[in-house]
Amino acid sequence: MEFLPIIVILLVAAIVAVPLSRRLGFGSVLGYLAAGLVIGPAGLSLITNTENIQHVSEFGVVMLLFIIGLELRPQRLWTMRRAVFGLGSAQVLFCTAALAVAAHFAGLPWPAAILIAFALSLSSTAMVLPMLAERDLVTTQMGRDAFSILLFQDLAVIPAMALVPLTGGTLAEPAGESMWLMLGRGLAAIVVVLVGGRYLIRPLFRIVDGAKAPEMFTATALLIVVVTAALVSAAGLSMSLGAFMAGVLLSDSEYRHQVRADIEPFEGLLLGVFFISVGMSINTVLLVQNAGPVFAAVATLLVIKGALIFVFARLASHKSPEALRMGFALAQGGEFAFVLLLVALDNSVLTDNQAEFVRLVVTMSMMMTPILFWAEERFIAPRFAHNIGPPFDPISVRNKVIICGFGRVGQIVGRVLRLKGIPFTALDKNLEQIMTVRRFGSTAYFGDSSRLEMLRAAGAEEAKVLVIALEDVEESITVAEHAQRHFPHLKVLARARNRRHANLLMDRGVEHIVRETFYSSLKLTEMVLREEGLAEQEVQRVVHFFEVQDEKLLIEQHSYYNDEKQLIQTNKQVTEELRSLLEAELSSVTEENGTATTNN
């Protein structure tokens, strides 16, 4: 079949299936999988040669990991180390052990059972993250811990691929090269990516950016992803890992937001093609012939893996609803299982029938996950929600002002509004905080305002003003993104913890920002200047001058706030300029006062 008709078929299938799946509440991933099943060899056979599509679709996962890397600065990765290596390693080790025992009792020899168990312990990053993102769960603690587990799984694939040739018993052939050589080659590739990325990527972007050709910037971003993935793949490692490292290297650069904006459309489209290819690869003949064993294996996988993840989430201090949701989200097999199965076949660790059976189990578990996740949200989560704390009345009012975060900042805004008789809706997810303000006669509602459905329930469609007074920076950024995307009519007024927080809010289109300690610091400065003997008029002029110029500087520096070197250089220049301007202004005021005295 020619390439153009294949593109038309893929696009039509996605356009029909994905909106229908989302309308039914199952999310976009199941729509892509269903579309692939319908148009593939098992369905209407509109596309029969799926190998070429599978090769292209792999870059969807690569792009996804690159964007994930862009969002994870090295400092944040360091703060996540306990969740990644603690929760992630526990999940992989215990799930592998439990599933290996189950596979061995099903009749597989230990080498094959261990390999299959490890492959099944890996969840689908490409499925879980979009599924959580659609429900605004990525920035929650549950979402962050789920990502930590997924990240460790991706890292665990590296040594696993090197060890596969050594796990075979009677089926295994002698490895073509030693394990140490494979590990050394992989480590060398990682070092090349890290060193090359640190010293080459930013200068390359500066050169391309200087050309003022937006399409070349996009091409450069794509080139970096592809070259990094190819380099790491040539060393025998996962392409996704290389893309992830490239993303992390760019996460602290001033080009991060532009690169993300350029890559994201390709990532979404290729990720959809990936899931369509998974749907097309379903072997319905084998499924029909072995329906009982296949679904028994799928059920075993989902129950064992989901239960263990639930236990580890509870041990990590998650409440039962969050732990249960994490178990449902991560219980399926993932795309890296397909990669490991290919390596196992190449090294004769598994037979063709065994690999095909496991591939079918992984695919069916991926297809069932959106349905199970939907069922958990629809039927199980409400039962837990009913028992969380005292029952609260639903938000039946539709006020023109919504305050997100009713702590020390939000409460002051609310008190003044109440004095003027202006009604407002206050949201806060701290249950103790809600109970306290209610005892003092204030009306506030329990809920996470960083979730889109909570903002809708509070009446964001009809409101005029949205006050973001949240302490958590990531949550406030999420609210600002929701407002920009879904409620563009809202006037957004935001509290910022510091200059960086203010810049992040400005990235999301927020224009009216109050830095948390700015005005209180100016008030304190006035008191210091008075104690130093300055006249009241001079105190007011100096502080007002600094306030105006600093706000102006914040806006001017927004375009390069991630470039520390330029910020330092600019601040030195600005300090000298401000001192000269202030001296000139005070001199003119003194002259005006002297002239006025003479005239009098």
**φ, ψ for residue 8, nearest 5 deg:** -60, -45
Are 445 and 526 within one domain? no
* pLDDT for res 171: 40
Are 485 and 529 within one domain? no
Reading across the β-sheet that carries 425-428, which strands appear in turn? 445-446, 425-428, 401-404, 465-468, 491-496, 512-515
* pLDDT for res 127: 86
CATH at 453: 3.40.50.720
The SS3 of residue 492 is strand
Point out the domain boundary residue: 467, 490, 516: 516
Inform me whether the pLDDT recorded for 25 exceeds 80: no
Q: Is residue 576 part of a domain?
A: yes
Q: Which residue has the higher pLDDT, 156 or 150?
A: 150
* pLDDT for res 170: 41
Each residue's pLDDT tens digit, 290-347: 999 999 999 999 999 999 999 999 998 888 888 999 999 999 998 888 878 877 887 7
| CA distance linking residue 588 with residue 596, whole number of Å | 12
| CA distance linking residue 405 with residue 413, whole number of Å | 11
Interval 564-591 mean pLDDT: 66
* pLDDT for res 161: 67
* pLDDT for res 393: 44
Q: Is residue 3 part of a domain?
A: no
Q: Is residue 29 part of a domain?
A: no
Are 208 and 277 within one domain? yes
Q: Is residue 250 part of a domain?
A: yes
Q: Is residue 41 part of a domain?
A: no
Are 377 and 416 within one domain? no
Q: Which residue has the higher pLDDT, 149 or 141?
A: 149
Each residue's pLDDT tens digit, 116-126: 999 999 998 88
| CA distance linking residue 35 with residue 33, whole number of Å | 5
The SS3 of residue 468 is strand
Inform me whether the pLDDT recorded for 153 exceeds 80: yes
Mean pLDDT check: name the lowest of 162-176, 306-320, 363-377, 436-450: 162-176
- Of the pLDDT bands very low, low, confident and very high (cuts 50, 70, 90), residue 264 is confident
Q: Is residue 36 part of a domain?
A: no
- Of the pLDDT bands very low, low, confident and very high (cuts 50, 70, 90), residue 242 is confident
Are 209 and 350 within one domain? yes
The DSSP-derived string for 374-418 is HHIIIIIHHHHHHTSSS---------SEEEE--SHHHHHHHHHHH
Burial 161-199 (b: 16+ CB within 10 A, else e): bbbbbebbeebbeebeeeeeebeebbeebbeebeeebee
CATH at 103: 1.20.1530.20
* pLDDT for res 388: 44
Out of 339-353, 496-510, 560-574, the most confident range is 496-510
Q: What residues does 425 pair with on adjacent strands?
A: 402
Which residue pairs, CB below 8 angstroms and at least 24 apart, start in 3-6? 6/47, 6/53
Q: Is residue 46 part of a domain?
A: no
* pLDDT for res 587: 63
Are 79 and 146 within one domain? yes
| CA distance linking residue 483 with residue 515, whole number of Å | 19
Mean pLDDT check: name the lowest of 94-98, 333-337, 379-383, 426-430: 379-383
| CA distance linking residue 516 with residue 394, whole number of Å | 31
Interval 413-439 mean pLDDT: 83
Inform me whether the pLDDT recorded for 80 exceeds 80: no
* pLDDT for res 582: 66
Point out the domain boundary residue: 516, 548, 574: 516
Are 221 and 342 within one domain? yes
- Of the pLDDT bands very low, low, confident and very high (cuts 50, 70, 90), residue 94 is very high
Q: What is the 3-state secondary structure (H, E, C) of 22-38?
A: HHCCCCHHHHHHHHHHH
Are 204 and 144 within one domain? yes
Each residue's pLDDT tens digit, 249-261: 777 777 777 787 7
Are 523 and 496 within one domain? no
Are 524 and 505 within one domain? no
**φ, ψ for residue 47, nearest 5 deg:** -130, 120
- Give CA separation, 280 vs 27, 42, 56, 353, in Å: 19, 7, 14, 19
CA atoms within 13 A on the CB side of 552: 8
Out of 377-381, 411-415, 439-443, 450-454, the most confident range is 411-415
Are 492 and 502 within one domain? yes
Inform me whether the pLDDT recorded for 456 exceeds 80: yes
* pLDDT for res 75: 66
Inform me whether the pLDDT recorded for 3 exceeds 50: yes
Are 539 and 502 within one domain? no
Interval 199-218 mean pLDDT: 81
Inform me whether the pLDDT recorded for 272 exceeds 70: yes
**Tally of domains within the chain:** 3
Point out the domain boundary residue: 495, 516, 537: 516
On whether the CB atoms of residues 100 and 358 are closer than 8 A, the answer is no
Q: Is residue 138 part of a domain?
A: yes
Q: Can you give the residue range of the structural domain that contains 488?
A: 397-516
